[in-house]
């Protein structure tokens, strides 16, 4: 195992990456975060900056237009971005982990050649069409269908809550669909749908509680026709393959959540030093100091958990349980810290221009997306033999 991931002593290249993204987050992302949040606008200029830095290509080989790094490098970037703007962080996470990674993991040479350079280069975004209305956590209840007709897949159905699916640079949506029946059960496959394709529609964006600068749409498919060669991976393995993608993605979401939790600590420390009440800085009061201490402990625990899961993943060892633990611990740390940070800030914590207010609204979805808290508990219970 990469023991440095467990000990927290990172090699220079990882430390330099984290510092570079941290500087970008503070100088480029943070100044426009409140504006994009208030306007519910997609931060194209920020995404272009991340693309120029190579962040969308971090875990991919150079031969496919990537940076030749690994998944842990992506996680470090997500943690730094998550400190200041979860919308930007989830745009990167979904673009890499959900948009490009399925093509990299399961695509043919031709599919990789066509899609990976532009996805890894950040010139295009891909989306992951799994969740459906009425399905939610029960992804196996897929109702979207894809039938072969004269060498083409004909897709009909709908998806919901799909990130990066309706931007001006969205070029690909990977869709899970029922392609038949096998052993009395639904045969679920995954199919690449280029954007635009006749019959495919990204419906109007959702009015969300948080992640307001992240692009999220319901999708509809009305006799969408794509070539038979657009099957991604083995026929009938679509659901299983996407579960593998979700296992990896939980480590990334844990990293993002850790960033959010740490961002709440950082903002609270700064505020507690500056804000005075009854003649002294509020950080001198034990109630405030102890609250922030607990927040720091949560962030540290979350970081340790996702480092451990990432180390196992990079070592090629089983990591399903550790990924679920990391996602559980980190998402709860983000939500708990956001609540405490808002309380520490008092009335200012209720104002949307303050980072902690955005974290308060943004963090709840971390306990829901890419597997709810209850799903993580179920996975952990199974892994320990229950």
Which residues are identified as catalytic? 370
Within a 13 Å sphere around the CA of 58, how many CA atoms are in the beta-carbon half?
A: 25
Q: How far is the C-alpha of 227 from the C-alpha of 290, rounded, in Å? A: 60
| Main-chain phi, psi angles of 156, to 5 degrees | -140, 135
Tokens of 111: 């599919």
Residue 175, strand partner residues: 129, 191
How far is the first Cα of the chain from the last one, in angstroms, to the nearest whole number?
Answer: 27
| Main-chain phi, psi angles of 205, to 5 degrees | -65, 155
Q: How far is the C-alpha of 300 from the C-alpha of 329, rounded, in Å? A: 10
- In a 10 Å sphere around its CB, with 0-12 CB exposed, 13-18 middle and 19+ buried, how is residue 274 labelled? exposed
Cβ contact 306:255 at 8 Å: yes
Q: How far is the C-alpha of 358 from the C-alpha of 352, rounded, in Å? A: 6
Strand 125-129 and strand 170-182: the pairing is parallel
* Rg of the chain (C-alpha set): 21
């Amino acid at each position: 195992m990469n023991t440095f991931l467990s000990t927290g002593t990172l090699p220079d290249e990882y430390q330099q990456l984290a510092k570079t993204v941290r500087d970008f987050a503070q100088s480029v992302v943070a100044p426009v975060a409140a504006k994009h949040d208030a306007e519910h606008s997609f931060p194209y200029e920020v995404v272009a900056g991340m693309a120029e830095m190579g962040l969308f290509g971090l875990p991919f080989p150079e031969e496919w237009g990537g940076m030749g790094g690994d998944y842990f490098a992506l996680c470090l970037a997500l943690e730094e971005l998550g400190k200041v703007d979860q919308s930007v962080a989830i745009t990167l996470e979904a673009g890499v982990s959900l948009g490009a990674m399925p093509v990299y993991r399961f695509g043919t040479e031709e599919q990789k050649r066509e899609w990976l350079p532009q996805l890894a280069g950040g010139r295009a975004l891909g989306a992951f069409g799994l969740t459906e209305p009425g399905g939610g956590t029960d992804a196996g209840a897929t109702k979207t269908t894809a039938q072969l007709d004269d060498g083409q897949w004909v897709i009909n159905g709908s998806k919901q809550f799909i990130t990066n699916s309706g931007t001006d640079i969205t070029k690909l949506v990977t869709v899970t669909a029922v392609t038949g029946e096998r052993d009395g059960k639904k045969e679920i496959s995954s199919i690449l749908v280029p954007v635009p394709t006749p019959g495919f529609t990204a419906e109007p964006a959702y009015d969300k509680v948080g992640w307001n600068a992240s692009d999220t749409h319901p999708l509809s498919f009305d006799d969408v026709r794509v070539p038979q060669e657009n099957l991604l991976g083995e026929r009938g393995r679509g659901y299983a393959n996407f579960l593998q993608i979700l296992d990896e993605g939980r480590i990334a979401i844990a990293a993002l959540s850790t960033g959010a939790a740490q961002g709440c600590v950082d903002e609270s420390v700064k505020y507690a030093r500056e804000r005075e009440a009854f003649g002294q800085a509020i950080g001198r009061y034990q109630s405030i100091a102890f609250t922030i201490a607990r927040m720091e402990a949560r962030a540290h625990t979350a970081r340790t958990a996702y480092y451990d899961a990432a180390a196992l993943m990079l070592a090629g060892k089983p990591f399903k349980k550790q990924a679920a633990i990391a996602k559980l611990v980190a998402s709860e740390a983000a939500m708990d810290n956001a609540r405490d940070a808002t309380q520490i800030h008092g009335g200012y914590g209720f104002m949307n221009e303050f980072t902690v207010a955005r974290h308060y609204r943004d963090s709840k979805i971390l306990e829901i997306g890419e597997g709810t808290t209850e799903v993580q508990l179920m996975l952990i219970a199974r892994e320990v033999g229950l």
